Structure 1
Amino acid sequence: MNPFVRKTLVVQIQAGATDRFSVLAHLTYDADDPFAVTAVFAHDGRVLARWRLDRQMLADGLRGAVGVGDVRLRPVATGMWQELRMEFLGDVRPDGGRHRAVAFAWAPAVAAFVRETRKVVPPGQEEVRVDDVLAEILAAG
């Protein structure tokens, strides 16, 4: 079985109170890092942002509000349209506030991606190779 799951979605980034514009979100899951999903947001061939998300948090965010730190997720329904609202808080700005981005993805597409990751590594069967992690830390130090 392929240890990777990849999916590209068109998501909308909210600029200001109501304006949205479309960008691509490339979601990647690697069985070697079984708890994480990488989300790369890109527009016109440029990477706008890269975030590593907790896979379970992503799944939970499809059902209810989760997150209290730099990443906050929650479902949003507009009529029959189901979205996952993803709020990302970045570095502190000179004025003391924080950079902030809000993205909206079609929830059924995100749910399908999460289901595919669970076929690769079912919940509860994630393994962390502690020796590999320690070797990587010691090599970098």
Structure 2
Amino acid sequence: MNSFVHKTLVVQLRAGGTERCPVLAHLSYDAEDPFAVTAVFGHDGRVLARWRLDREMLSDGLTRPVGVGDVRVRPAATGMWHELRLDFLGDYRPDGSRHHAVVFAWAPAIAAFLRETHQIVPPGHEHVPVDELLAEILSGAE
């Protein structure tokens, strides 16, 4: 069985008071890290940002606002599009404000990606082999 899902989507990025511009979002999920989705945003062959997102938070964000701190997710609608809005807060600036970027993704595409991840590891069935990890760490400490 496949334990990895990857999707590339065109999303809209708004940062630093600019208008929206299209960028690629490469979403990946690996059953070895069952709680996380990695999002890599790129443009013209350059990586703009890489974020590890909580899979459950991303799923919940399709229907209601979630998140505190550096990442916040909520549904948004503009016209015929049903969008997912992802707010990313970055490093602090010298004036005390923070860098802020907003990504708008087509919500049905995100939902389809998440459905594929749920086929690999259903919600509530995530497992991290903590006992095995601790045994490995302790065996190397001697």
Q: TM-score, normalised by structure 1?
A: 0.91
Note if contact 1:15-1:21 (Cα within 8 Å) is conserved in structure 2.
no
Is 1:124 the counterpart of 2:124? The answer is yes
Equivalent position of 2:46 in the other structure: 46
Shift of 1:18: 6.3
Unaligned runs of 5+ in 1: none
Note if contact 1:41-1:49 (Cα within 8 Å) is conserved in structure 2.
yes
Unaligned runs of 5+ in 2: none
37 and 131 in structure 1: CA distance in 2 versus 1, 3 angstrom threshold: same
Equivalent position of 1:93 in the other structure: 93
Note if contact 2:16-2:99 (Cα within 8 Å) is conserved in structure 1.
no
Equivalent position of 1:4 in the other structure: 4
Report % sequence identity.
71
Is 1:77 the counterpart of 2:48? The answer is no
Matched to 1:119, the amino acid is Q
Note if contact 2:4-2:31 (Cα within 8 Å) is conserved in structure 1.
yes
Pairwise CA RMSD: 1.8
Matched to 1:52, the amino acid is R
SS at match of 2:59: helix
106 and 95 in structure 1: CA distance in 2 versus 1, 3 angstrom threshold: same
Q: TM-score, normalised by structure 2?
A: 0.91
Note if contact 2:16-2:101 (Cα within 8 Å) is conserved in structure 1.
no
Count residues in correspondence: 139
- The list of structure 1 runs, each at least 4 consecutive aligned residues, that deviate by more than 3 angstroms after superposition, is 15-18, 131-139
Larger Rg: 2
Counterpart CA distance in 2 for 1:49 and 1:8 is 15
